[in-house]
Amino acid sequence: MDTKEMARAVRAIGMPDGMEERVLRACYREIEEKNMKHNISGFRRPAVVFAAFIMCFLCLGVTGMAASEKLQGYFRDIKDFRGAVTGETYEQADDEITVTSAAEGNGLKVHIVFEKPDAFPYSLLEELAASSYTVRDSAGKEVLSGVKTELFPVENGGADIIVAADLPEGKYTLVITELEGYKKAEQPLAIRGEWTCVFEK
Amino acid sequence: MENTSVLQAERVETLVGTYGNMLFRFCLITLGNTGDAEDAVQETFIRFVRKQPSFRDHEHEKAWLLKVAGNQCRDILRRRSRHPSADIDEVVVPAAEEPHKSAVLDALMTLPEKYRTVLLLYYVEEYDTRKIAKLIGRTPSAVKMRLKKGRELLTEAYRKETE
C-alpha cells in the first residue's frame, strides 16, 4: 500500500459547507465578549458593542447576523470520515432554552424551560436528560463533571432534571453544554448550547 | 470603530482560511465524525482568540494550532469514554449524499487512534519524528515505533479492504 495514496486521500478532506462561517461566528462572539470584559470604562462600552455589531455585520455580510440578535438553533448532520450521515445534533440552542437551578437535598434540581415549546424539535420531546455539564465552586474550580442524568418527563413546556451533586455549603455555578431529548422509538437528539446558572448550597 | 476587535477578527479569519481544512482533517481522522471534529476545530480557534499568542513563524503557528487541536481531541475522547453513547453504527439514517469512497481511508480508520494520528502527522503534514514527538507529548522513539506499527496495521487493513 502506497502511503502517498493515503496522504492524497486525507488531503482531499475539507471543511463541510457552512463550517467556516460557524467557526468564525463563534470567534467573533468570543472577541466581543473578551473585549467587553477588558473595557473598564462605561463610556467606551456602548462604542465596543456598536463596533462588534458593525464588525459582525461586515465580516459575515449577512444582515440577520448581528451581535444583538438571539441565537437560533439549527440541525447539523454528523458524518463519518466517508461523508455518510450517521446522526444529527441540534446546535446553538442557547437562546431557545432557559435553565435555572436550586439545591435540593443531596442533589440539584435543574428547571428547564423551552422558550417555544410548540416549535420543532421541542414539541416532539417526551423525556429529557442533561448529558454534559460541570459545576464550579466560587473559586472557579471544577468540583463536578457530569455523568448523564436519568431521563425526566417533559411537561408543560420543559422539565425538571435532578443532578446528583453532594456538595458542601457554598456558592456554585452550573454550566450545561448538552441536553439529550428523547421520543419513543426514535434516536436521542443531542441539543447543544451553553446554559449557566448560579446556585447556593 | 474599535480597532482591536477588527484586527483580532482579521487575524482569526486569516488563520481559519489558512489552517481550517488542515485542522478539520486532523480532528476528523482522530475522532471519526464530523460533529466532534467541528467542535474541536472551533474550540481551537476560540482558544487562539482568548490567548492571542505570538508566533515566531508559520511553522510555529501551525504547530501551536495542531497541539491545541490535539488536546481538544483528547478531551473529547476522554468525555466519550465517560459517557458512552449509542454506537454510531447502530444509528440508521438515510445517507444524504453519496459517501466518499476510499479503501485506503477505510483502512486507516480501522486503526487505533494513536496510530492514525502519527501516520497523518508524518505522511500528510510531513513532520519529522522529533516534531511529532513534541506535538503529541511522546518520545521520538515512541513515535518511530507507532509509525512502524501503524504502517504494518494499515497495510494489513488495506489488503483486507481490497480483497
- Smallest CA–CA distance, residue B5 to chain A, in Å, is 6
Residue type, B155: T
Block residue for cell numbers 439549527: A74
What stretch of H or E contains B69? helix B58-82
Q: Which residues of A touch B38 (CB under 8 A)?
A: 15-16, 19, 22-23, 76
Higher-confidence position of B83 and B63: B63
pLDDT at B126: 94
Q: Give the pLDDT band (50/70/90) at residue B145.
A: very high
The closest CB to that of A87, out of B9, B17, B93, belongs to B93
pLDDT at B2: 58
pLDDT at A46: 47
Residues of chain A with pLDDT under 70: 1, 37-69
Radius of gyration in angstroms for the set of CA atoms belonging to chain B, rounded to a whole number = 18
pLDDT at A57: 45
CA nearest A16: which of A62, A80, A89?
A80
- Smallest CA–CA distance, residue A48 to chain B, in Å, is 6
Residue B22: pLDDT over 90: yes
pLDDT at A1: 65
- Smallest CA–CA distance, residue B13 to chain A, in Å, is 7
CB atoms within 10 A of CB A163: 20
Q: Which residues of A touch B72 (CB under 8 A)?
A: none
Distances B16 to A198, B42, B59 between C-alpha atoms, Å: 34, 9, 15
* CB–CB contact B91 A187 (8 Å): yes
* CB–CB contact A3 B45 (8 Å): no
Q: How many percent of chain B have pLDDT more than 90?
A: 66
> Per residue in B90-116, pLDDT tens?
333 333 344 456 888 889 999 999 999
Residue B129: pLDDT over 90: yes
Q: Give the pLDDT band (50/70/90) at residue B118.
A: very high
Residue B19: pLDDT over 70: yes
> Chains A, B: CB contacts under 8 A, how many?
173
Higher-confidence position of A56 and B81: B81
Q: What residue in A sits closest to B30 (Cα-Cα)? A: A81
Q: Does A121 sit behind a cis peptide bond, omega within 30 degrees of 0 on the bond before it?
A: yes
Give mean pLDDT, residues B122-136. 95
Q: Give the pLDDT band (50/70/90) at residue B71.
A: very high
Q: Which residues of B touch A47 (CB under 8 A)?
A: 2
Determine the Cα–Cα distance for residues B161 and B141; give it in Å rounded to an integer: 30
- Smallest CA–CA distance, residue B137 to chain A, in Å, is 23
What stretch of H or E contains B65? helix B58-82
Q: Lowest-confidence range among A167-176, B22-31, B80-89?
A: B80-89
pLDDT at A53: 47
Q: Lowest-confidence range among A41-55, B22-36, B65-79?
A: A41-55
